Every structure is written in structure tokens, then in C-alpha cells.
Amino acid sequence: MGLVIDSLRLKHKKLNDERLPGNFLKSLTARVLAINLLALAILAGGFLYLDKYQTELLTIKADALTREGNLIGRTLINESSTISENLDNVDISKAKSILLKLAIPSERRVQLFLANGKLGVDSYTLPDSALESSSLPPPSEVSLFKRISFEMYKWVVELIPPHRSGSLAAAPENPTVATLPILEKALTGKYGSGVFESADGDRIVMVALPLQSVRRVQGALLISGQTNDVDRSVRDVRSALVLAFLVALLITILLSLYLASTITRPVRRLAKAADKVSAGLGNKDTIPDFANRRDEIGMLSKSLSKMTSSLWSRMDTIENFVADVAHEIKNPLTSLRSAVETAKRINDNSKRQELLNIIEKDVKRLDRLLSEIADASRIDTELSRLKPEPLNLKVMLQTLIGLHQYSPEVIGQKKIKLDCASSKVFYIMAVTDRMGQVFQNLIDNALSFSPSNGKICIKLSLENNWIIVTVSDSGPGIPTDALKDIFRRFYTDRPHDKNFGSHSGLGLAISKQIINGHGGEISCENICDESGQITGARFIVRLRSSVVKN
């Protein structure tokens, strides 16, 4: 008993060891998460790119600087009386005064270049006294989290190709015609603009536009503007998208985990239950029931439950079969032992010969019994391995009847008749040898029970998609209480004077096994006359029709 318990404990421990959590990255949950998160990450990356949105903002910025430049240019032309045909004669001090009056914002830089390309006025060099000043509120303390978030944001933005450092042309600190092509373009009467990168990595929008009178270009205005407002707008949009992404990420993770749990948890339970069954620790009710799910998991649960039930049924069948075989073999062995022991003690040669005859019969009985047992044990394997072929039942039955017509048991004593529609041919898909064995058994059984001058009628008919074969005899029939046991292995109900021991009781059991293996049915009933008297027995075989030809 202790060895059995220790063995079960070892099996249980082995199952637990086999089901210990493995590498999470190889699990189904990780794969579901990876697929969902990858799609979300690609979508988020596309949103965070925002290149078109940023380009539109920079274009709007350049247009605004162009309008501002046109306004400043017209003001310089209209307000400065010294501007006539050549800006070389401009009163620089008056031009500075005009720019001071316009109150150029600090994030703007306005530079006036003369027609010869020399710098005339730079708003960055105007006296501070002309600027409006006011005290700024004390700087608010920026939390460490915000600083880290901002630095991470800058680092991520730097990874986006259009915004990497060095991807834009460098903005000259002191622009000249030689260092700034758009300025040279403006001095020829054409507008020019571009986005440049300052020394500290910030973007600058520069717009160069000609300053001209009716007749010719008088000079050029170069307006530079920082893109802090553009960066702020893009950053706000990105922040909103990141927040939405984080919310979507959380929802995706939760839904993915929920989805994975609805798959992996039942599958894990089914796997553990299957392992228990294979280790001999479970029973036919061990498999969890997920049939109410109505999905693939439910189908798997049904299939495993059905497989387990079939397995246990097969084990019970094998156990009962072994018990029946042991019991059936024990009877002739007991008879043999008794005959041998008796033969040792008697000296009468005639009686000793009788005992030897008994021994010979028992040996033949054992040989026949073992042969039929071996045949019965091979049926299921053979039916699953061999490929069914079209079989004409009518031709097969005619052949079997023809063989029996000339047997000594039939000639002049019994009649066998086949009743079927002559215009039809009945086909089934079957293993020919095994199906012939079934009807051979049924005909032999009918002949053995029919009296002299008895009749055996074999009827072949078609009912919907089923072929019905009935084998009727005119014998004593089947005891009512034996109808349910007639197909049980080793069951026999023959009189002792009718070749007792020559029938193993496996014929009908083997026939039922073969018919069931072909997806058919076999049953039996008694034939009664009008008064209710039993006049014979009838065996009914139902097989699915394959082809019916007229």
C-alpha cells in the first residue's frame, strides 16, 4: 500500500514540475500582448510623427513673417522721406526710429540690408530704452518629473528623422549675402524663406523680401522668427496623443490579459486534467466542462471529454473482456484437469478412452476459443487501419447463400431464400471480409437453430438512406429475458444436446462489433404468429447506403 501511495505522489509531483511556469515570453499571453501592443505602437508612432502638421505650422509662420515684413517695408518706404532711388542715402537713424516705433517683439529679428548688400539696421542692436519693460513674475518651480518628462520628450523627438540635429541648414549668426542665399534672392527682387537651425539646436524661420519702389529694388528686409510657439503647439498635440496612447495602452493590456486568460486558463486546466488522466490520477469526470462557451475551447473540452469517456469505456471493456476470457478459459481447463486426474486413477481402457475424447474436445474448444478471442481483439484496430471499399450487398448475400445451398446441413433439409428488389443494386462502404463474416455468422446461427425442413429468409430493402438486411429463421426463437444479452460476449443459450461446447458465444458479439465499427446497427426480435406464439427469430442489420443504382 505504501508503494502505491509513493508512486502516486511521484506522479503528482512530476505533473506539477511539468506545469511549472516557464518563460513568459514564450507563453500565449505574451504573444497576444505583443501583437496588440505592436499594432498600437505603430499607430502611436504615426501619430507622434506629426511631420505634416508641423510643416503646416511652419508655413503659416513663414506667411505671417512675410506679411509682417511687407508691412514694415511699406512703412519704411512711406515714412522715410530719404528713401528715393537709392537706399545708400537712407537716414539710418530715422530707419532705426521707425523700427523702434513698430515695437518689434523680442522673438523677432528685423534686419535692413542696403542695395549693395551691406547691413543697415538690426533690431537686435536697437537701444533697450525704446523697449517696453515690465517685471516678470518669479519663475515657478518645475518639478523633477516635469523636467525628466521634458528631457525624455526632447530625446524622443530627436529620434524622428526630420527633427534630428544637423538635418537643417545652420542659421548664420550674422547673415550676409554670401552666407544666406535667400538674402541674395531678395536683393534681386524675389521672395525667399527657409527653416534653419541655430547654434543651440532651435529652429528659426527666416523670410527675405525685397524692399522696392516702383522702379527698382531699394534693398531687402530679413525677418527671423523663433519657432517656440510652433514647438509648443506640436508638443501640446503630442502630449495629448501620448496621454491617449497611455489610456489606450492600459485598456489594450487589460483587454489582452482578459482575452489571453479566457484562452490560456481553460487550456491550462484542460492540459492539467489530460495529464492527470494519462498519469492514472484522474477519472472520466476529470476533464473540465466548457461546453457552454460555444467556441473552440468549448469544442476542445467536448472532444477531450468524449475522448476520455471513450478511453474509460475502452478500459472497462478490456477489463470485462479479460474477466470473461479468464472465466471462459477456466471452464475447459477445469474439465481438462478433472479428466486428467480421473484418467490416472482408472484402469478401464474404455472409460479411459472416453476421458481422452473429452480431453481432445476440450483442447479443440480451447483452441477455437483462443482463435476467436484473438480475432475479436483485432477487429477495432483492423477496421480503423483498413480502407473501406464499395461493397455490393446483394451480390455478397447471393454468394453466401450459394455456398450454403450445397452444404450437407442444407441439402434436402432446409431452404434459404433471398428476398430483394431485383432491379436495384445495394452498395455500402465496408471492409469486405469483415462484413462477410457478419452475415456468415447470422446465416450459420439461423441454420443451427432451424429444424429440418425449416426456412431461412434473408430480406434486403432500402429505407431512406439506410439499407436494411433481415435474417429470419423458423427456430424456437429467443427467450424474452435473453434479448438484451444476446450480443454479450460468451453468451450462449443452446441446449446441451446441440453440440455443447462447440460454440464460444463470441459470434454475435463480434458481429455487433463489426457493424458498430461501420456506423451501423444490429438488433434482434422474435417472430410471432397471430396467436402470439413464437415461430422464429429475426436479426435486423441497418447499414448506411453509399450508392443506389437503378
For 385-410, what is each residue's pLDDT tens digit? 888 899 999 999 988 888 877 776 66
Dump pLDDT digits (tens) for 156-172. Answer: 666 655 554 556 788 88
Rounded distance between C-alpha atoms, residue 447 and residue 94, angstroms: 138
Q: Distance (Å, rounded) from C-alpha 398 to C-alpha 388?
A: 21
Give the mean pLDDT of the chain. 77
Strand partners, 472: 457, 538
Q: How confident is the model at residue 521 (pLDDT cuts 50, 70, 90)?
A: very high
Confidence at 480, pLDDT banded by 50, 70, 90: confident
Q: Is 70 exceeded by the pLDDT of residue 111?
A: yes
Cβ burial of 269 (10 Å; 0-12, 13-18, 19+) is middle
**Buried residues in 12-21 as b, exposed as e (16+ CB within 10 A):** eeeeeeeeee
Query: How far is Cα 54 from Cα 231, in angstroms, rounded to an integer?
Result: 8
SS3 501: coil
240-287 per-position pLDDT tens digit? 777 887 888 888 888 888 877 778 788 888 888 878 777 766 666 677
Confidence of residue 472 (pLDDT cuts 50, 70, 90): very high
pLDDT in tens, 2-20: 434 344 444 444 444 444 4
Question: For 395, phi and psi rounded to 5 degrees?
Answer: -65, -40
In whole angstroms, give the CA distance from residue 442 to residue 523: 12
Q: In what order do the strands lie in the sheet with 425-430?
A: 389-392, 425-430, 547-549
Instruction: Name the nearest CA neighbour of 550 among 422, 391, 424, 390.
Output: 424
Q: How far apart are CA 9 and CA 64, in angstroms?
A: 83
Per-residue pLDDT tens digits for 62-98: 888 888 888 888 777 766 544 444 444 556 777 777 7
CB 175 within 8 A of CB 222: yes
Residues 53, 56, 58, 61: what is their CA dihedral angle, to the nearest 10 degrees? -130
Domains of the chain: 2-15+22-46+239-278 (no CATH), 50-124+144-226 (3.30.450.20), 286-385 (1.10.287.130), 387-549 (3.30.565.10)
CA separation for the pair 233, 245 (Å, rounded): 18
Strands 217-226 and 108-114: antiparallel
- DSSP strand pairing (455-463 vs 415-420): parallel
Angle at Cα 58 formed by Cα 55 and Cα 60, nearest 5°? 110
Q: What is the pLDDT of residue 233?
A: 84
- Distance CA(314)–CA(326), nearest Å, equals 18
User: Which amino acid makes up residue 193?
Assistant: S
- The mean pLDDT value for 494-522 works out to 75
Specify the long-range contacts of residues 525-534, CB closer than 8 Å, at least 24 apart: 525/483, 526/477, 526/478, 526/480, 526/483, 527/472, 527/477, 534/476, 534/477
217/281 Cα distance (integer angstroms):
100
SS (H, E, C) 211-265: EECCCCEEEEEEEEEECHHHHHHHHHHHHHHHHHHHHHHHHHHHHHHHHHHHHHH
Grade residue 307 by pLDDT with cuts at 50, 70 and 90.
confident
Nearest to 219 by CA among 177, 180, 173, 171: 177
pTM assigned to the model: 0.51
Q: Which residue has the cell 471492409?
A: 431
Task: Give the Cα separation of 352 and 343 in Å (integer).
Answer: 6
Q: In the predicted model, what is the mean pLDDT of residues 340-368?
A: 82
3 state DSSP class of 336: helix
Question: Ranked by mean pLDDT, which of 217-221, 362-366, 429-433, 482-486 comes out on top?
Answer: 429-433
Compute the residue count for the chain: 550
Mean pLDDT, residues 308-327: 78
pLDDT tens digits for range 443-470 = 888 888 888 888 889 999 988 889 999 9
3-state secondary structure of 469: strand
Res 142 pLDDT > 70: no
Cα 122 from chain centroid?
A: 71
Distance CA 86, CA 505 (A): 131
Q: Could you tell me the three cell numbers for 27?
A: 507563453
Which three cell numbers, joined as nine digits, stand for 209? 523680401
- Whole-number Å distance between alpha carbons of 348 and 369: 31
Is 422 strand, coil or helix?
coil
Write down the pLDDT at residue 379: 80
What's the whole-number mean pLDDT along residues 302-330?
79
150 pLDDT band, cuts 50/70/90, is low
CA-nearest of 395, 405, 374, 379 to 504 is 374
Q: What is the DSSP letter of 506?
A: -
Distance CA 375, CA 268 (A): 41
The β-bridge relationship of strands 425-430 and 415-420 is unpaired
Report residue 218 CA to chain centroid gap.
76
Instruction: Say what the pLDDT of residue 457 is.
Output: 92
97/219 Cα distance (integer angstroms): 18
**According to the model, what pLDDT value does residue 470 have?**
94
